[in-house]
Structure 1
Amino acid sequence: MSFADSPADFGCYDVVIVGAGSSGCVLANRLSADPRRRVLLIEAGGSDNHPWVHIPVGYLFAIGHPQLDWGFRTQPVPGLNGRSLIYPRGKVLGGCSSINGMIYMRGQKQDYDLWRDLGNPGWGWADVLPLFRRSERHFGAADDHHSTSGELRVEEQRLHWPILDEVARAAQDMGIAATSDFNAGDNEGVGYFPVNQRRGLRWNARKAFLDPSRGRSNLRIITGAQVQCLTFDGRRVTGAVFRDRSGLHHARAGQEVVLSAGAIGTPHILELSGIGRPEVLSAIGVPVRHALPGVGENLQDHLQLRTVFAITGARTLNDRARSLWGKAGIALQYALTQSGPMAMAPSQLGIFTRSGPEHDRANIEYHVQPLSLDAFGQPLHRTPALTVSVCNLRPTSTGSCHAVSADSFAAPAIQPNYLATEADRKVAADSIRHARRLMAQPHLARFSPTELKPGPGDADDESLARLAAQIGTTIFHPVGTARMGNDPLAVTDAGLRVHGLAGLRIADCSIMPRLVSGNTHAPAVMIGEKAAELIMATG
């Protein structure tokens, strides 16, 4: 790429990390622990010093906030009747860990064993479990699955909603067992989600991993610096060019560059650097440096179906937060005890189960909330209601994310391609049926649940799939756009090295060959741990 002005030399570092999200913060911490290794961490966003980051309920307002969120939207999605969705991605220190739902969820043992079986040795459940444990500071006792000595705090939620307890009992009446641990390799069951919080405040990747390492003279962290492209010496990546308020700079990497910009940012930077599908690069006028047809492909995400049920005879946040006095009481409770609604993660009660008998393990996940609203950032509904969201944990539909311009500030084209397969439409139909059965359990009858969204009536597969297309929305778990493997469409090998190039690795959720059966923050931290281990093993 040519520039109107020449980049100023920003110095040479052993490792240059692009992106201070969940994986990048872990990498910066682990690599800089060796005082002989000089590390530069480049973040496009700014400080996370904003109240909506740290107060858990601020999640509702952090999404779409220009100071905290990239503000992406998808292309019109054919499977969602041509709707375009907001696609939040953290643009701030801590990345998505600063604006996400704070849920700590690893996924299922089989997810990682599948990664291994797809040609990625070292990524099976037995391999990654010690990496999950390394970073974890769990609220319970240390055991084979959990650690109490890591930096990433995992706590129980500081709230209690009686109506959610009743929904949990209804799930048990359906044969879904109660669980006290979603993170031991089999997450099937019903229980309250564990969260990344510390005493009622969000505990993001910045607090967990950057704060303990800030005094190290060999670690430099810069913010407000957007990477324009990578630099090369033949087939070797030698650094990164970035722009900040003072102009254009070139940071050189003596050992390697690591892209940790996420499933949207990482393929975007690769393409701006001439790495990717030749037809995509040709369309944006970027010369092909290295043809890799898998870059930007294989986008996978969890589509959630947000069903809503009005209830009577129980309180929800809708009615508690409706009056001025109610809001004042909530604020006072949080100020005095850091508990109550302002301390709650966006989703509180979780259910992992099977949408039908043909599935051999949990294939759907519920996020149950004692509130309802039209969209994030919109006012709560006036009548008491529950949002009963269901998502397909292992969708078969895949999409893409590609640059549309050589200008790094132009948003990429994101096409998740939801509900593109018959299998996904069948799970969507079964998911709505399952939510209706849950809310129709005799245990909940005294609350008179009434379906508001998508609305009662339709029951056949085709009609329910159409309803899913109307109400489906992202649950913010994009992965897979630079997946690891050894087939022609793989972008990295099992060591996270980009195929065909030296000096370049990828460490974020883009490397996942398949989407995990759960939320993605904990796996992103694990990927950072794995990448650090791999890099340190090379010297």
Structure 2
Amino acid sequence: MVAKGYDYIIVGAGSAGCIVANRLSADPACRVLLLEAGGSDRNFWLKLPVGYYRSIYDGRFSRLFLTEPGEGTAGRPIMWPRGRVLGGSSSINGLIFIRGQHEDFDDWERLGATGWSYRDVLPHFRKYERYRGGESQYHGALGEFEVSDLRNDNPAAAAWVAAAVEFGLPHNDDFNGATTHGVGRYQLGIGRHWRSSAASAFLRPVAQRANLTVMTGAHASRVLFSGRKATGVEWIRQGQRFGAQADREIVLSAGALQSPQLLQLSGIGPADLLRGLGIGVVVDAPEVGSNLQDHYQARLIVRLKRPISLNDQVRSPYQLAKMSAEWLFAGRGPLTVGAGQVGGAACTEYATAGRPDVQFNVMPLSVDKPGEPLHRYSGFTASAWQCHARSRGTLAIRSTDPLDQPRIAPNYFAEEIDRKTLVGGMNILRDIFRQKSFRDLWDIEVAPGPEAPGPASLWEFARRTGGTVFHCVGTCRMGSDDRAVLDPDLRVRGVDGLRVIDASVMPQITSANTNAASLMIGEKGAALVLSAKS
């Protein structure tokens, strides 16, 4: 069944896709179709900031991908949840809002992404941001996406920051300012009470535009071509196949896993892979699905001597009532927190030019994974991950079935420097725990524990117990070389009328959480589409 025609079709209503839909449909003459495989984001746990603990692994809102087992994960597959709901992963993530090092974007330009240096992208970060701390050289205050400073005070988290300063790290009041180096309180993607998601910020306010059609439950199956011109999109909805034509452009914003999958299903990818599955080759593009990157974290947990952990608070009816009142009347407290409250970036002995190579994420709680009960003791967690792992993974379709998950091989820790850097970050965390401001707060290192005294045992602990920080990127790399999947304007090489605008375009992963950069890619990507139109 073929639907009516549109000027633009956008696949994926996630972090980037919602911004693109908003910006393109601002012109009443542009007919825009936004396809989303998931459903509505109207759920309390998707709105309450701390609700990500319940939603991130919930199959109603998240598609749960499994990676291939690997040596770097002790033969374990790792589950990668990706948002399958309006707002995409911005509706289920841990809310930490941090752009990454300025050098991250200068690296992109050095790697061939002309026009994507920090100076180039800063105006796009500022355009979409509504920072409650006010406008500045680094922050925007007039955008749609609300960003707030941490509004929860925990004595153990404050003591950890003080201990990190004693260790020798500078205090940093704004990780989105001049530098990410140092330690401090994180900024979060929240307003006064509720989560900021791409859907709440960019889609819901314009959902009634007559020229914008938002279709949920629509799983894109392939891009349609006339020769090498992308002309439409086919999708599956309630077991039936539908299609629509795009007169101007098609934009894939399905994310770092499903944008390359859709390209491969549509005949753009490694020729041998496609021919082996009986798919006609439109463009032999060997790097579609390669350059896969992610942040992998190892978590250290100590037991606090006093009941000042969130583990204790959630088991006290009085504390639960207090939390609710703080959130309801003041927009503060534990219900406003994300996946990390404090943290920062540091240099291990392997860092170069004084540029941080590990990122820390610290929480006054402990749990095996989100969605499971907090531990019954007074837990405190500090995790470390590498800012820029050298290892690269791959993604490839297994069949022509668009509902079949692709083969995802992250190839974690294929490069030895990645192992050394992560262990170096874990050693720094141990040293911080032993500083004067923190050492008397805890009595037992629960994980990795005394059985992991040195580098070899720390590495073994990390590979057996660590996991993703949910930051997969890079599978449709942009660049100026002929092997790049996209040119710097995010156009798919070898065809016309097709772009990718999402985290898959990153030549190199950002040093910190990736959602802020994904939103920026949506903002800048929309501007590129609009400039081509004019």
TM-score range (shorter-chain normalised) is: over 0.9
Give the corresponding residue for 1:504: 498
- Superposed displacement of residue 235, structure 1: 0.6
Matches within 5 A, 1:420-431: 420-431=414-425
1:302 and 2:295 correspond: yes
Structure 2 unaligned regions, length at least 5 = none
2:445 equivalent in structure 1: 451
Task: Tell me if structure 2 keeps the 8 A contact 1:13–1:253.
Answer: yes
2:305 to 312, 330, 337: 312
2:525 maps to which residue?
531
2:213 paired with 1:220? yes
Q: Aligned residue for 1:372?
A: 366
- Please tell me the residue identity of whatever aligns with 2:249: E
Q: What secondary structure is seen at the aligned counterpart in 1 of 2:2?
A: strand
The one-letter code matched in structure 2 to 1:243 is I
1:430-469, aligned counterparts within 5 Å?
430-469=424-463
Counterpart CA distance in 1 for 2:368 and 2:135 is 41
Partner Cα separation in structure 1 for residue 511 and residue 422 of structure 2: 16
> Quick one: distance in 1 between partners of 2:322 and 2:268?
54
Equivalent-residue separation in structure 1 for 2:259 and 2:351 (angstroms): 36
8 Å CA contact 2:451, 2:457 repeated in 1: no
State the 1:281 CA deviation.
1.8
Q: Tell whether the 8 Å contact from 1:496 to 1:507 is kept in structure 2 after alignment.
A: yes
**Contact conserved, 1:298 with 1:483, CA < 8 A, in 2?**
yes
Q: Secondary structure at the match of 2:160?
A: helix
Q: Distance in 2 between matches of 1:333 and 1:124?
A: 41
**Aligned match of 2:42:** 49
Q: Provide the C-alpha distance between the structure 2 equivalents of 1:66 and 1:285, rounded to a whole number of angstroms.
A: 31
Q: 1:148 aligns with which of 133, 138, 141?
A: 141
Residues in 1 aligned to 2:351 and 2:92: alpha-carbon distance in whole angstroms: 36
User: What is the alpha-carbon distance in structure 2 between the residues aligned to residue 292 and residue 449 of structure 1?
Assistant: 55
* Preserved CA contact (<8 Å) 1:20 1:41: yes
Q: What residue number does 2:106 align with?
A: 113
What is the SS of the residue equivalent to 1:89?
A: strand
Instruction: Give how far 1:506 is off.
Output: 0.4
Superimposed CA distance per residue, residues 375-425 of structure 1 (whole angstroms, 9 cap, x where no aligned partner): 221111111111101110110011112211111111111111111111101
1:34 aligns with 2:34: no
Of residues 350, 356, 372, the one that matches 1:362 is 356
Measured in 2, the distance between the counterparts of 1:378 and 1:68 equals 17
Distance 1:488 1:215 in 2: 42
Using the alignment, how far apart are the partners of 1:325 and 1:403 within structure 2?
A: 51
Q: Could you tell me how far apart the structure 1 residues matched to 2:160 and 2:316 are?
A: 26
Provide, for residues 424-482 of structure 1, a one-character-per-residue CA deviation record: whole Å limited to 9, x for no partner: 01102111111110101122122134211112243443332222111211000000000
Contact 1:229 1:242 in 2 (8 A): yes
- Select between 348-357 and 419-428 the one with higher mean Cα deviation: 348-357
Q: Would you say how many aligned residue pairs link Structure 1 and Structure 2?
A: 532
Q: Matches of 2:109 and 2:342 in 1, distance apart? A: 31
- Other-structure match for 2:66: 73
Bigger Cα displacement from structure 2, 129-138 vs 369-378? 369-378
Question: Counterpart in 1 of 2:514?
Answer: 520
RMSD of Structure 2 on Structure 1 (CA): 1.5
Alpha-carbon distance in 2 for matches of 1:342, 1:120:
39
Contact 2:94–2:340 under 8 Å retained in 1: yes
Quick check: 1:296–1:481 contact (8 Å CA) kept in 2? Answer: yes
1:186-205 aligned at under 5 Å gives the runs: 186-205=179-198
Query: What letter is aligned with 1:194?
Result: Q
Mapped contact 1:440–1:449 kept (Cα < 8 A): no
| In structure 1, distance between residues paired with 2:332 and 2:326 | 6
Kindly indicate whether the alpha-carbon contact (under 8 Å) linking 1:367 and 1:389 is maintained by their aligned counterparts in 2: yes
1:397 to 2:361 alignment? no
Give the one of 251, 254, 258 matched to 1:261. 254
* The one of 113, 118, 123 aligned to 2:116: 123
Deviations 1:270-290 (A, max 9, x none): 111111112322343322222
Work out whether residues 24 and 507 of structure 1, in 8 Å CA contact, stay in contact via their aligned partners in 2. yes
Q: Alignment partner for residue 61 of structure 1, among 43, 54, 67?
A: 54
Provide the secondary structure at the position in 2 that maps to 1:65. coil
- Between 1:483-492 and 1:493-502, the stretch displaced more is 483-492
What CA deviation, in whole Å up to 9, does each residue of 1:301-335 have, x standing for no partner? Answer: 00011111111135001111124454444345434
CA distance in 2, matches of 1:282, 1:144: 51
Instruction: For 1:188 and 1:114, locate their aligned partners in 2 and report how far apart those are by CA, in whole Å.
Output: 17
Determine the C-alpha separation between the residues in 2 that align with 1:269 and 1:99.
23
Q: Report the more deviating stretch, 441-450 or 498-507.
A: 441-450
State the 4+ residue runs in structure 1 displaced beyond 6 angstroms: none
Unaligned runs of 5+ in 1: 1-7
In 2: Cα distance, 1:230 partner to 1:357 partner:
44
Q: Is the 8 A contact 2:6 2:33 kept in 1?
A: yes
Which deviates more, 78-87 or 319-328?
Answer: 319-328
Secondary structure, counterpart of 2:62 in structure 1:
coil
